[in-house]
Chain A
Amino acid sequence: MSAQFSDQSMVPEEPWEAEIAAVLGNLPTIDPPAGFIAGALDHRPLFAGRLLVGLALGVVVAFGASLAVGAFGRPLVVPELGALSAQHAMTQAGVLSAAPADSEGFHVAEEAIDSPLDTSAELDLRATLIGERELRQAVYARQGESISIFSQPGRVKFDELPDGDRVMIDGVLAWVDPGEKVVVLETAESAVTIMGLTPDEVAQAVQDIPRRSSTASVTDVLNGITRELGFPDLN
């Protein structure tokens, strides 16, 4: 067989070369281990330290190793949006009647009900509930509707969420359903699902929380929100 020209550079390519190229071209894409990319993002301070100050290598490596254990040890979770939506709807009636009740799989966390409430706030915390697998739900009432914020330990497995839009909120990846008031994001420790607020409202809520310092992270801000809602800090 005669040589062929493969591309613009007019390189004579032997037939056997095309065969090799073909088998190489059919090699499958290799997926990174679960949580690897998100874990790498979590290591930003370590990277910065390496770049900016060249800390003693042993210290940096030890610190990085401790971070890695934490990052990769967290479970990947896919928020069960259907079940969460049902739970959100179920608690809504109770919340609006000011009598949040236990619902299937959840019980009211009595100790959290006593969290300080800002009665002048537009949003009013009505209940904190705890479900299975450390799933927590804070129910907030506002002008005849309710908002639920669910959190559970772990990282969000974004690829397994239904079709939706992915947006960034201050560097944090969030999944939003453009047709529904559902936002899923993750903090340093938890997968957070917010139902009843649009993405813009979530962003506005984030904006309304004062920053504790110029370097406050989105986790700080989300902690401010969850503190308002009666949750413990998310990390």
Chain B
Amino acid sequence: MFDLVDLKRPLSDPTSVPTWEEVAHTHGRFLYSLAYRLAGNHQDAQDLVQEVLLRVRRGLATYQPGNLEGWLSRITTNAFLDRVRKQKRRPTQALPDEPDRVIPGSPGIESEIAQRDLPDHLQRLLLDLPPEFRAPVVLKDVLGYSYEEIAGHLGIPIGTVRSRIHRGRGRLKEALTT
């Protein structure tokens, strides 16, 4: 007999485990946007999303219904960092973990960047950040996760998360105002 899978179950039901296809269809845009912000271009974003969908498919067997987007964010970010570690296609100079380093403030960031093609410009600047700094900045400032959540996603201490976000933001600010 042909298996009919949940014909009447809404895709948005948060209490049930979605199928792989449901995740792809309902959260594909979310995954792609995050992947693009992390990877910086469409080709790498597509490769990353395909890798993420593989991991999602494997992981659904153990997924506990709840914060699906949080789970997907964790998978995407870790897949991104894994790819960076393996490929090292874009050598970058890591920023030092120096929590006490102070990025000097200056007024008028928004006015400085108002004249530019902001989204593209910001994306280029994000791409200049070392991946280990870019990921927490994207998770915090683009997706709005808390420091605790990001620490959980990345498996690093919260102090390190805080430091990397501070450093990353500082690098962005310097780039935007020079």
A interface residues (Cβ-Cβ under 8 A, vs B): 1, 6-9, 11, 14-17, 19-25, 27-33, 36-37, 40-41, 43, 47, 50-51, 158, 165-173, 199-200, 203, 206-207, 209, 211, 216, 221
Contact = CB atoms under 8 A, between A and B. Distances in A.
Interface stretch (B29-37, B65-73, B74-82, B86-94): B29-37
Contacts of B21: 41, 168, 171-173
Nearest to A204: B4
A11 B125 CA distance: 24
B83 interface: no
A203 B145 CA distance: 41
Interface string B102-118: 01011001100100001
B32 A19 contact: no
B135 interface: no
A169 B37 contact: no
11 contacts: A17-B166, A32-B29, A36-B46, A37-B32, A47-B50, A47-B54, A50-B54, A167-B8, A167-B11, A171-B20, A209-B2
Contact of B32 (A20, A30, A47, A221): A30
Nearest to B4: A203
B8 to A, nearest CB: 6
A18 B22 CA distance: 36
Nearest to B106: A16
Given A23-B118, A168-B11, A211-B2, A30 B105 contact: no
Interface of B: 1-11, 19-22, 24-25, 28-30, 32-33, 36-37, 42, 45-46, 49-50, 53-54, 57-58, 103, 105-106, 109-110, 113, 118-119, 122-123, 126, 137-138, 140-142, 144, 146-148, 158, 162, 166, 169, 172-173, 176
A28 B5 contact: no
A37 B28 contact: yes
Contacts of A21: 140-141, 169
B14 to A, nearest CB: 16
B142 A207 contact: no
B13 to A, nearest CB: 11
A23 B109 contact: yes
A27 B162 contact: no
Given A24-B141, A207-B2, A171 B19 contact: yes
Contacts of A23: 109-110, 113, 118, 122
A14 B11 contact: no
Contacts of B138: 24
Nearest to A224: B2
Contacts, number: 151
Given A21-B141, A27-B119, A203-B4, A43 B50 contact: yes
Contact of A25 (B3, B58, B109, B141): B141
Nearest to A21: B141
Given A11-B162, A171-B21, A207-B2, 10 more contacts: A19-B110, A20-B169, A21-B169, A23-B113, A24-B141, A36-B46, A36-B49, A167-B6, A168-B19, A168-B21
A27 B134 CA distance: 15
A172 B72 CA distance: 21
A32 B32 contact: yes
Contact of A15 (B3, B30, B49, B105): B105
Contacts of B122: 23-24, 27
A166 B19 CA distance: 13
A27 B37 contact: yes
B53 A30 contact: no
B157 to A, nearest CB: 11
Contacts of B1: 207, 211
A140 B119 CA distance: 53
